[in-house]
Amino acid sequence: MKIILSGGGKREQTRELDSIFFNLVKENKVIFIPHSRKNEEFGSSFSWVKENLFLPFGHNSFEMWTNLDNKSIEDLKDAKGIILGGGNTFRLLKVLRDSNFIKVLKEFIEREGVVYGISAGAIILTKDIITAKPLDKNEVKLEDLSGMDVLEGKSIFCHYEKKYDGVIFDLVNNRDIEVIGLPEGTGIYINRNVKKIVGSNPAFFFSKKLGKKELKIGEEV
């Protein structure tokens, strides 16, 4: 299991997280999944990813999948990495479920494929996407908010700033979950059983038992 969960941010903020991903996939093919965006935004989303991720690292083997229906693990046999882009978390999870691609994604991870979740793309990989609610609208009326739980019981709050502490504690207390706040430019790198904070700023762990606790760069989650 090799996964990078990014709190989001601009190109100059996420450069270390991007570097981890491209060092893992090397020259192999990468698939970009844009479905946290509306269909008419796929083109502009792909252009942003090419300009800000692929081209700066000299990576030329990539494609965007606009239709996930009937995709199987065999379609990923030549791919080493998947990027789940940022946007609306609820929309992304609904599309992954409706197309059954979420099962393909799980198998890809189990087969040592590398997944880079950016903002919304990172949130759906964790336990409970309710943490997206303060910043995203649930326009698709998604009721089951359970994610893929790669952090084994923990959820993340992307684009974290101190001003969101009250909102996060409400989620922690009312939803009975543990949350890691990831500022822009900060992420979690999961390499098998090791989960470490990476990037430019500390993260913060929120729970009923411990309250708020700082997680320094390099510290294990």
List of the chain residues with pLDDT < 50: none
Sign of CA dihedral 92, 93, 94, 99: positive
CA–CA dist 48, 59 (Å, integer)? 14
Share of the chain above pLDDT 70, in %: 100
The residues, any chain, with a CB within 8 Å of residue 87's CB and separated by 6 or more, are 34, 36, 37, 41, 45, 119, 120
Give pTM, 2 decimals: 0.96
Strands 79-84 and 62-64: unpaired
Do 206 and 178 contact (CB within 8 A), yes or no? yes
Query: For the segment 84-121, what is each residue's pLDDT rounded down to a tens digit?
Result: 999 999 999 999 999 999 999 999 999 999 999 999 99
What local confidence, expressed as pLDDT, does residue 62 receive? 96
What local confidence, expressed as pLDDT, does residue 7 receive? 97
Strands 186-191 and 194-199: antiparallel
What local confidence, expressed as pLDDT, does residue 219 receive? 96
CA–CA dist 171, 90 (Å, integer)? 17
DSSP alpha helices (H): ranges in 176-221?
A: none
* DSSP state letter for 35: T
What local confidence, expressed as pLDDT, does residue 121 receive? 98
Strands 62-64 and 29-33: parallel
Token readout for 170 is 């409400």
* DSSP state letter for 153: S
- The four Cα atoms 60, 61, 66, 71 give a dihedral, to 10 degrees, of -170
Cβ atoms < 10 Å from Cβ of 11: 12
What local confidence, expressed as pLDDT, does residue 77 receive? 95
What local confidence, expressed as pLDDT, does residue 216 receive? 98
